Structure 1
Amino acid sequence: MVTAAVCAVVAGYRSYTAIAEWVADLPTDTALVLGIDAHRRPSEAMIRRLLQALDPEPLATAIGAWLAARIPAPPPGSRHAIAVDGKTLLGSRTRDSPARHILAAAEQHAGIVLASTDVDTKTNEITRFPALLDRIDDLRDMVVTADALHCQREHVAYLARRSAHWILTVKGNQPGLHQQLAGLPWRLVPNADRDTARGHGRHEIRTLKILSVATGIDFPGAAQALQIRRRRRRLDEPRRFTSDTVYAITDLQAHQAKPWQLADWIRGHWSIENRTHWVRDVTYDEDRSQIRTCNGPHVMATLRDAAIGALRLAGVTDIAAANRHHARNANRPLVLLGITS
């Protein structure tokens, strides 16, 4: 039934009722391949009870491991990068409880979620960081990127034990460290990388400067300081630029990563919003989902991640069009997932 639910989500179905309708409409031979009795299809109530009762974290770990085994190896001289980022499921809010919040780890290049964990109201993302990454078997030589909330000494100690590298954004939650980074002689440093991009009605110029900080930065393991400057303008307002400057630190030394790789990993972290969260919100309408009970919100988010991951591995860039393609033939989701009779 879980596999059937993933297939239905691949076809764009968003609710328990819709999944039950997809299962009810399956051709007999397709239902048998999925292990479903052709004459006794599961009802919406059965599917709802199952998905509400599932433990979402082992489910996400199993799906993440299945997807991770299919991610191509990085090119020689490069590394896998994992972005750690949180998302609130706005539709899960009820009169008596706040919206659920999920912390996820996604492989940047493939745009695939490898693990997720629930952040309940009694804790926050910081305390769930090790528990999340514990669900990924091997972090050796990978680069973990995270926003300023996770610029924590305990986190880098954990990543060192896992033999992983890191790039962490630094903002006002670490005022002393942020002041040290802002006070470095950046005006004397040439750009190490420059990139321009057009999209979403705007033009953006990004520059990266790098300084080695073997001493003088009060953060364990920091080897290089990074200054990222972004200048943006709307295409219909060519003379009006806005700019912002962000600082980051990394344990990677100059010989371990080229400037363009550091720039790619930093951009890759920000792009998780577009490649994962935006797709779940816009294509799957997640923030207006009426699924709110028990483990249902996290389980459905995990099924969406599974569908998006499988489609990404197949080379899909337009998830909405791929949903429609797989909805037109019940066997297509099975082929995508490699399911055969």
Structure 2
Amino acid sequence: AAKRLLEKVDLENKIISGDAIFAQQELSKTVVEKGGEYLWKLRANQGNMYQRAVAHFEQMSDQYLEQASSLEKGHGRIDQREILTSFRIAGSLKFPYLEQVFRITRKSEQVKTGKISKQTVCGITSGSVEEFEAKDLLELTRKHWAIENGLHYRRDVTFKEDAVRQTAKNGGRVLAVLNNLTIGILRKLGWENIAKARRYFNARIDEALNLIMTPLSLLL
């Protein structure tokens, strides 16, 4: 579904970022061959590529590793992020147009309680080291996580996603994709308050149905 959607969208000079679910070979080829760049997270269930990325950064034997860090204060916490990037390992991984592999470590401290949490994520990108330095990738991933967190909040609060009982194997994943698409379309139509948009279309079913029947290429 994501591949078919991207085939209809202008990706020239666009950076498409996403969770590990999007780190698929055909999808990644589509992004680059339509003029864009991809930036995906990796997860442990993606097997050899994830394990090799983790091992590469743990060994710290790559003399060409690039590093960058950032520090942010706000919302009652202090966030420190550090990224390591490598172009050397990318050449040995069989993945379309892969240029760099990266690891981000995020440490977050709650100002009031002093509680510290730590998260480490690996990822891949088609962006070359000449175009995207470590500091650039760090900023791109920061923006992606900010959007992702905002989407999850809206999906849960406005669409009650977490309260929906799922029986199908991939039901939760499909629901998240559909809700993200809905939010994206509403934003494109000029709605800033998603809850208000939902109430609007709940009271105007005919308009909602017409919107559903409109080709995505005309909406995005």
Q: Shared topology, TM-score over 0.5?
A: yes
Amino acid of the structure 2 residue aligned with 1:192: A
| Higher RCO structure, 1 or 2 (CA under 8 Å, sep 6+) | 1
**Alpha carbons of 1:190 and 1:252: their partners in 2 closer, same or farther (altered >3 Å)?**
closer
Q: TM-score, normalised by structure 2?
A: 0.66
Kept in 1, the 8 Å contact 2:103–2:122? The answer is yes
Kept in 2, the 8 Å contact 1:149–1:173? The answer is no
Residue by residue over 1:125-164, the C-alpha shift from the partner in whole angstroms, topping out at 9 and shown as x without a partner, is xxx121221332x101211111111211111222232121
Question: 1:303, 1:156 → 2: CA distance?
Answer: 23
Looking at CA atoms only, which structure, 1 or 2, has the larger radius of gyration? 1
Q: Secondary structure at the match of 1:257?
A: coil
Higher helix share: 2
1:171 to 34, 40, 43: 43
- Once the two structures are TM-superposed, the CA of residue 267 in structure 1 deviates from its matched residue by 1.8
**Alpha carbons of 1:308 and 1:155: their partners in 2 closer, same or farther (altered >3 Å)?**
closer
Question: 1:302, 1:218 → 2: CA distance?
Answer: 30
Identity of aligned residues (%): 21
- Once the two structures are TM-superposed, the CA of residue 180 in structure 1 deviates from its matched residue by 0.8
Question: 2:72, 2:95 → 1: CA distance?
Answer: 31
Residue by residue over 1:86-127, the C-alpha shift from the partner in whole angstroms, topping out at 9 and shown as x without a partner, is xxxxxxxxxxxxxxxxxxxxxxxxxxxxxxxxxxxxxxxxxx
1:204 to 79, 84, 99: 79
Kept in 1, the 8 Å contact 2:87–2:99? The answer is yes
For this pair of structures, how many residues does the alignment match? Answer: 178
CA RMSD of aligned residues (A): 3.2
Kept in 2, the 8 Å contact 1:224–1:250? The answer is yes
Question: 1:245, 1:285 → 2: CA distance?
Answer: 29
1:180 lines up with 2:52 in the alignment: yes
Residue by residue over 1:219-274, the C-alpha shift from the partner in whole angstroms, topping out at 9 and shown as x without a partner, is 23211111100112222222x42212110011111111233321222122222234
Q: TM-score, normalised by structure 1?
A: 0.45
Amino acid of the structure 2 residue aligned with 1:252: G
Correspondence for 1:154: 26
1:191 to 67, 92, 95: 67
Amino acid of the structure 2 residue aligned with 1:273: E
Correspondence for 1:19: none
2:116 to 241, 249, 256: 241
Correspondence for 2:92: 216
Question: 2:16, 2:95 → 1: CA distance?
Answer: 17
**Alpha carbons of 1:253 and 1:242: their partners in 2 closer, same or farther (altered >3 Å)?**
same
Question: 2:97, 2:185 → 1: CA distance?
Answer: 35
Question: 2:179, 2:91 → 1: CA distance?
Answer: 47
Question: 1:204, 1:254 → 2: CA distance?
Answer: 25
Gaps in structure 1 of 5+ consecutive residues:
1-127, 290-297, 313-318, 328-341
Kept in 2, the 8 Å contact 1:193–1:209? The answer is no
